[in-house]
């Protein structure tokens, strides 16, 4: 699934090419029943045609298109949705599910192998994404905010960061990268992290997202293999990842560790066996062992009775 950097890259590309363009035609394939939400595809196209595109925004993994009548066209790419900027005469792309003609002679093609992508045309975009947590790239997102939203959770920190109500836009790849930067094991319970841990994790999240945006997104693995940018080119961030997809390879921190893969909440997690030490656990029903002499404990003896007490 495209994550925050992939959606942000698309937003920036669209902003450079499509602002001010008017939508002149709209086609939605009949074999994509869930693409258009709330209204029928025919009604969606009727309302969208003739609208001018005034701006592009992003909220988490959602792309928001501001229209000239005050409404917003909201797009979620889900697993494999892409937006391509093409001439009508260009060769047909694979898995085209919708086409939006523009008044400059170009068109936006929506391609989606798995057909999970969704679109809305609404008066207020917040009704689609009202449960989302804070934006990681906003100045208001601080280590304190991250700690306050996560520290009461007993779940593994990997699962907590993936929860979109805790933090918007993070997915499997960039969470693995952030935890690796922060040297935090993905199974560590969120409520066991220290203030310093959250400071490192906050920095790791920002660094992972910055790398992803600088590399124009990632195209690799099982979750982001379908991602391409507006011009159809793959992302480049896969050339610089330090954790995701590197199972069995040496850690790039030169610590001597090997990258391992485990499942956390049903999701694959790749981490360094040395940089990201596993949390200490205690087996259920096993009481802590009493200190022995070998541990440095002082051995005590019961006093000996020199004579039997008188009866």
Q: How many Å apart are CA 67 and CA 42, to the nearest integer?
A: 19
- 302 falls within a domain: no
Whether the predicted pLDDT of 44 surpasses 70: yes
Residue 303's pLDDT band (boundaries 50, 70, 90)?
very low
Residue 28's pLDDT band (boundaries 50, 70, 90)?
very high
Domain check: are 264 and 151 in the same one? yes
Last residue in a domain, options 127, 162, 191? 127
Q: How far is CA 134 from CA 33, 130, 175, 208, in A?
A: 31, 11, 15, 17
Average pLDDT over residues 10-35: 97
Whether the predicted pLDDT of 233 surpasses 80: yes
Average pLDDT over residues 25-49: 97
Domain check: are 157 and 193 in the same one? yes
Residue 220's pLDDT band (boundaries 50, 70, 90)?
confident
Domain check: are 179 and 264 in the same one? yes
Average pLDDT over residues 275-298: 60
Domain check: are 112 and 14 in the same one? yes
Average pLDDT over residues 58-85: 97
Q: What is the mean pLDDT of the chain?
A: 91
Domain check: are 265 and 157 in the same one? yes
Active site residues: 2-3, 61, 267
Domain check: are 72 and 165 in the same one? no
Contacts 24+ apart (CB under 8 A), 126-130: 128/62, 128/74, 129/59, 129/60, 129/62, 129/74, 129/168
Average pLDDT over residues 34-56: 98
- 300 falls within a domain: no
- Residue predicted with more confidence, 1 or 146: 146
- 24 falls within a domain: yes
Is residue 23 within 8 A of residue 102, CB to CB? The reply is yes
Domain check: are 73 and 176 in the same one? no
Last residue in a domain, options 241, 256, 272? 272
Average pLDDT over residues 158-168: 98
Domain check: are 122 and 205 in the same one? no
Whether the predicted pLDDT of 300 surpasses 60: no
| pLDDT > 70 fraction of the chain, expressed in percent and rounded | 88
Whether the predicted pLDDT of 234 surpasses 60: yes
H helical segments located in the chain = 4-17, 41-48, 143-150, 157-162, 172-182, 195-214
Domain check: are 237 and 169 in the same one? yes
Q: How many Å apart are CA 103 and CA 295, to the nearest integer?
A: 79
75 lies in which domain range?
Answer: 4-127
- 116 falls within a domain: yes
Whether the predicted pLDDT of 311 surpasses 70: no
Is residue 75 within 8 A of residue 83, CB to CB? The reply is yes
Average pLDDT over residues 102-127: 97
Whether the predicted pLDDT of 306 surpasses 90: no
Q: How many Å apart are CA 200 and CA 143, to the nearest integer?
A: 8
CB count within 10 Å of CB 148 equals 11
Residue 172's pLDDT band (boundaries 50, 70, 90)?
very high
CB count within 10 Å of CB 292 equals 9
Whether the predicted pLDDT of 307 surpasses 60: no
Domain check: are 111 and 199 in the same one? no
Residue 282's pLDDT band (boundaries 50, 70, 90)?
low
- 137 falls within a domain: no
| pLDDT confidence of residue 213 | 97
- 288 falls within a domain: no
Residue 280's pLDDT band (boundaries 50, 70, 90)?
confident
Q: Give 22's DSSP letter.
A: B
Domain check: are 162 and 195 in the same one? yes
Whether the predicted pLDDT of 79 surpasses 70: yes
- 47 falls within a domain: yes
CATH code where residue 17 lies: 3.20.190.10
Domain check: are 121 and 13 in the same one? yes
- 215 falls within a domain: yes
Whether the predicted pLDDT of 38 surpasses 90: yes
Torsion of CA 197, 202, 203, 204, to 10 degrees: 80
CATH code where residue 201 lies: 1.10.8.50
H helical segments located in 107-163 = 143-150, 157-162
Buried b (16+ CB within 10 A) or exposed e, 250-262: ebbeeeebebbee
Reference 5, options 264, 238, 242, 263; nearest CA is: 238
Total count of domains within the chain: 2
Q: How many Å apart are CA 20 and CA 113, to the nearest integer?
A: 29
Last residue in a domain, options 127, 162, 179? 127
Residue 20's pLDDT band (boundaries 50, 70, 90)?
very high
| Alpha-carbon torsion (65, 66, 69, 74), positive or negative | positive
Contacts 24+ apart (CB under 8 A), 276-280: 276/179, 276/180, 276/183, 276/184, 276/185, 276/186, 277/185, 278/185, 278/187, 279/185, 279/187, 279/188, 279/189, 279/192
Average pLDDT over residues 147-155: 97
């Amino acid at each position: 699934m495209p994550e925050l950097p992939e959606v942000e890259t698309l937003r920036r590309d669209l902003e450079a090419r499509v602002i001010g363009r008017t939508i002149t035609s709209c086609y939605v394939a009949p074999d994509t029943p869930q693409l258009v939400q709330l209204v029928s595809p025919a009604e969606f196209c009727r309302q969208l045609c003739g609208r001018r595109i005034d701006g592009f925004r992003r909220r988490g993994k959602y792309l928001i298109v501001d229209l000239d009548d005050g409404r917003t066209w909201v797009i979620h790419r889900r697993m494999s949705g892409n937006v391509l900027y093409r001439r009508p005469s260009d060769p047909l792309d694979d898995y085209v599910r919708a086409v939006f003609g523009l008044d400059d002679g170009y068109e936006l093609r929506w391609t989606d192998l798995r057909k999970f992508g969704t679109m809305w045309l609404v008066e207020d975009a917040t009704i689609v994404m009202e449960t989302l947590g804070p934006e990681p790239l906003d100045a208001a997102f601080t280590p304190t905010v991250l700690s306050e939203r996560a520290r009461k959770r007993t779940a593994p920190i990997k699962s907590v960061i993936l929860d979109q109500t805790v933090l918007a836009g993070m997915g499997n790849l960039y969470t693995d990268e952030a935890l690796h930067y922060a040297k935090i094991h993905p199974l560590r319970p969120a409520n066991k992290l220290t203030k310093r841990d959250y400071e490192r994790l906050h920095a790791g999240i920002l660094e992972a997202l910055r790398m992803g945006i600088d590399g124009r997104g990632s195209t690799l693995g099982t979750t982001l293999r379908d991602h391409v940018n507006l011009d159809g080119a793959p992302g480049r961030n896969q050339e610089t990842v330090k954790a995701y997809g590197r199972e069995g390879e040496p850690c790039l921190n030169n610590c001597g560790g090997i990258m391992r893969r485990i499942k956390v909440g049903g999701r694959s997690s790749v981490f360094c066996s040395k940089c990201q030490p596993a949390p200490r656990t205690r087996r259920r029903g096993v009481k802590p062992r009493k200190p022995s002499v070998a541990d440095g404990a002082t051995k005590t003896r019961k006093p000996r009775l020199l004579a039997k007490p008188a009866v």
